[in-house]
């Protein structure tokens, strides 16, 4: 998934607010910063590649005065536009907004990066203090009546302005965005809306910090309990144990990357249950890290806000700017896939119980699925993992991007600043050999870094008002091995790496004039990343890069064939665990009043859906960071399935062309869909690429489900 940084930066661009007085904690930070040169944050970035972020010189004390200064600049810029005595034109209003608040762009980029990766008391305090101020800043822009009147005047006369197509789209989207954010509300309702948004910003930070604390806990295990667990996983658990004061033999950190391998391989059923219960109860423990009250308040505020803005529910508001548009369309797609997925789970459970000789519980599913995989395909994750060495997989992703789109990657780590020593950097050039982007790779889990995998941009590409190239980053949480040991990742991990790199490719290939046309609808965002996963299993990529970490030998053809044949294995589990989360998200956010007890709602909704008892949601509500660490994915988790429908249909286009490397198809995909940002309507763009809407049958076929 993309991080909240991208959306936050776009919201922060050209924003305005009158800053409240600093609270005592912030004032102390500002005083401390007097000794620090906070202009490190505010000055234009220097160095090669249109300038690079000064990661190596940033301290938390710099942010309060830097943010204060950048907010003041934004305020002055927008006041100048709103109060311009000249009649509104595209140049003095819309284009002027695009060029405003450059300092805020830079400072906000660093702020959201540091608060996501540095879980220290200082950065947590900054996040709590400044997140509501960013929300107020956003509201000050969207609720500025003088500014909106200028935009509305242009919008009403748009047909007579002689605008170029991208300018007309930018004007239209700007106007619609202001309306959606409350520009037409009465002054009293604008005050209510701003108060809601600021409270929500505080709640999002509260949720994220509670969950992060829960994920930093770990369970201890003995040598005997870790029987069956691969050496690489045990090495990471030993390293985690070394950080604990009690120095146990092994420590299993409460994150998916650490937990899933134990659930897949540990022979000790009691350990699996203990690890599973700790993981699925993150945020749902009744203690200081419990998130249920926070979630209940978020859902209520969202419903109240939607009603204030004139929408029947939060889902209707959030989806008004998506490809699906209507929650009912998203639910229709999800339910079409739900029934065959549940039926497949019943088949998978029956196969596993033939081996287990006892009923399958949730902590048994991955373990016995691995046994069935081994029996049915003579294939185990332990057998394939030696061929998926991290460095080789990184190079594999670069190879595919080069062959498809002409991108080339040259590592320049050590020549530009990074925010952690583990971060690597590559210069990206296009087919013409000219600089196109920098790509940062932050691959390892560490204390203070939020869990999961995501892509973000420190700086987006645009040509106005000055040329900027993309600074894109992939962030994973692979377990870092002991010194000198290889980084062996699973096939699923390799898939994740290709997925996140697909996001990066999307932004590195982008070629647009205005940054305001960069962000695509939520249900399009995952499309480029999901389709990029397809090239991992191409024979060329596996033959060249899936090489044994000891011998360097290519993966045997027989093993490649087994991986390809097993690719639809366990799709019942994968689909149900994901879809249950997506359906619960949608049903939660279509509640008109938003009054909810999260645990009760989750339990009753799953029961009504017929959720198999052997599976738990991929993200239970108390830990559903996609939904409650910000608005970005709320009522939007369905988007992975919506995007996958396009992804499957796009892959079918390459298959119809006769090769996954077909140049004509890749060129059309790049020029119509990848490089255009949101300069054209994404539904129409897909139709231009494929000649029709995506066919859901391709998705069902891909997952191995009946297509009729």
Q: Is the peptide bond before 335 cis (omega within 30 degrees of 0)?
A: no
Residues 6 or more apart whose Cβ sits within 8 Å of residue 240:
218, 250, 251, 252, 253, 258
Measure CA 464 to chain center: 26
What is the spatial distance between Cα 231 and Cα 485, in angstroms, rounded to a whole number? 10
C-beta separation of 96 from 81 below 8 A? yes
Cα 561–668–643 angle (5° rounding)? 65
Beta pairing, strands 408-411 & 435-444 = unpaired
CA atoms of 323 and 636, how far apart (whole Å): 11
Burial classification of residue 81, based on how many CB atoms lie within 10 Å of its CB (0-12 exposed, 13-18 middle, 19 or more buried): buried
Determine what percent of the chain falls in helix, strand and coil, rounding each to the nearest 5: 60, 5, 35
Contact indicator for 221, 151 with CB cutoff of 8 Å: no
What distance in Å separates the CA atoms of residue 637 and residue 243, rounded to the nearest whole number?
35
- The catalytic position among 215, 389, 500, 644 is 500
At residue 234, what are phi and psi to the nearest 5 degrees? -65, -35
Q: Taken in order 98, 104, 110, 116, is the CA torsion positive or negative?
A: negative
Which three-class secondary structure state does DSSP give residue 680? coil
Sequence-distant (6+) residues with CB within 8 A of 123 are: 60, 114, 115
Q: How far is CA 248 from CA 220, 255, 265, 603, in A?
A: 6, 18, 20, 36
Active site residue 61: no
470-478/435-444 β-pairing: parallel
Q: Taking a C-beta distance cutoff of 8 angstroms, is the pair 289, 564 a contact?
A: no
CB atoms within 10 A of CB 76: 13
Residue-by-residue DSSP string for 216-282: T-EEEE-TTTTTT--HHHHHHHHHHHHTSTT--SEEEESSHHHHHHHHHH---HHHHHHHHHHHHTT
Q: What would the two tokens of residue 671 be?
A: 């020029």
| Beta carbons of 446 and 215 less than 8 angstroms apart | no
Just list the catalytic residues: 500
């Amino acid at each position: 998934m993309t991080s909240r940084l991208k959306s936050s930066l776009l919201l922060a661009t050209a924003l305005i607010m009158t800053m409240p007085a600093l609270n005592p904690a912030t004032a102390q930070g500002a005083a401390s910063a007097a000794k620090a040169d906070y202009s490190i944050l505010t000055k234009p970035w220097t160095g090669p590649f249109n300038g690079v972020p000064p990661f190596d010189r940033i301290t938390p004390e710099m942010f309060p005065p830097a943010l204060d200064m950048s907010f003041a600049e934004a305020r002055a810029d927008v006041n100048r536009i709103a109060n311009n005595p000249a009649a509104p034109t595209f140049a003095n209003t819309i284009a002027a907004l695009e060029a405003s608040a450059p300092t805020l762009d830079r400072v906000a980029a660093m702020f959201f990066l540091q608060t996501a990766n540095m879980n220290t008391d200082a950065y947590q305090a900054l996040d709590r203090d400044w997140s509501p101020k960013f929300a107020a800043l956003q509201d000050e822009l969207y609720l500025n009546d003088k500014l909106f009147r200028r935009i509305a005047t242009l919008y009403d006369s748009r047909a007579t302005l002689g605008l170029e197509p991208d300018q007309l789209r930018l004007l239209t989207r700007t106007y619609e965005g202001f309306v959606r954010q409350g520009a037409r509300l009465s002054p009293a309702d604008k005050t209510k809306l701003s108060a809601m948004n600021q409270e929500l910003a505080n709640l999002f930070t509260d949720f994220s910090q509670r969950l992060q604390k829960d994920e930093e806990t770990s369970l201890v295990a003995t040598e005997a309990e870790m029987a069956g667990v691969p050496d690489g996983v045990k090495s990471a658990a030993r390293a985690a144990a070394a950080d604990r004061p009690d120095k146990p033999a092994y420590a299993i950190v409460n994150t998916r990357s650490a937990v899933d391998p134990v659930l897949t391989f540990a022979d000790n059923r009691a350990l699996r249950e203990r690890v599973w219960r700790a993981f699925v109860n993150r945020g749902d423990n009744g203690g200081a890290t419990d998130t249920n009250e926070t979630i209940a308040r978020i859902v209520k505020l969202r419903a109240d806000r939607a009603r204030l803005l004139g929408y029947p529910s939060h889902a209707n508001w959030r989806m008004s700017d998506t490809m699906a548009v209507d929650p009912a369309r998203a639910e229709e797609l999800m339910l079409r896939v739900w029934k065959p997925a549940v039926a497949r789970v019943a088949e998978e459970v029956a196969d596993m119980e033939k081996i287990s000789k006892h009923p399958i519980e949730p902590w048994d599913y991955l373990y016995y699925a691995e046994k069935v995989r081994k029996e049915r395909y003579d294939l185990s994750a332990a057998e394939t993992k030696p061929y998926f060495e991290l460095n080789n997989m990184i190079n594999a992703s670069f190879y595919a991007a080069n062959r498809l789109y002409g991108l080339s990657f040259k590592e320049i780590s050590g020549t530009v600043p990074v925010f952690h020593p583990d971060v690597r950097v590559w210069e990206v050039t296009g087919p013409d050999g000219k600089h196109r982007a920098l790509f940062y790779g932050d691959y390892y889990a560490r204390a203070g870094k939020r869990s999961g995998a995501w892509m973000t941009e420190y700086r987006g590409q645009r040509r106005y008002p000055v040329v900027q190239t993309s600074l894109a980053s992939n962030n994973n949480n692979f377990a870092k091995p002991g010194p000198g040991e290889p980084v062996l990742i699973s096939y699923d991990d390799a898939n994740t790496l290709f997925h996140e790199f697909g996001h990066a490719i999307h932004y590195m290939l982008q070629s647009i004039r205005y940054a305001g046309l960069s962000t695509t609808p939520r249900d399009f965002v995952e499309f480029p990343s999901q389709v990029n996963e397809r090239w991992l299993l191409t024979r060329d990529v596996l033959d060249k890069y899936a090489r044994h970490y000891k011998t360097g030998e290519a993966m045997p053809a027989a093993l490649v064939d087994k991986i390809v044949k097993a690719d639809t294995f366990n799709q019942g589990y994968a689909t149900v665990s994901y879809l249950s989360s997506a359906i619960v998200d949608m049903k939660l956010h279509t509640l008109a009043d938003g009054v909810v007890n999260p645990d009760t709602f989750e339990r009753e909704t799953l029961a009504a859906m017929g959720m198999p008892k052997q599976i738990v949601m991929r993200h239970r509500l108390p830990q559903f960071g996609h939904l409650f660490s910000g608005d970005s994915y709320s009522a939007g988790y369905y988007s992975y399935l919506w995007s996958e429908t396009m992804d499957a249909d796009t892959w079918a286009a390459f298959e119809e062309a006769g090769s996954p490397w077909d140049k004509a198809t890749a060129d059309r995909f790049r020029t119509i869909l990848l490089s255009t940002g949101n300069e054209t309507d994404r539904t129409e763009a897909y139709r231009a690429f494929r000649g029709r809407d995506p066919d859901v049958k391709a998705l069902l076929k891909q997952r191995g489900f009946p297509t009729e």
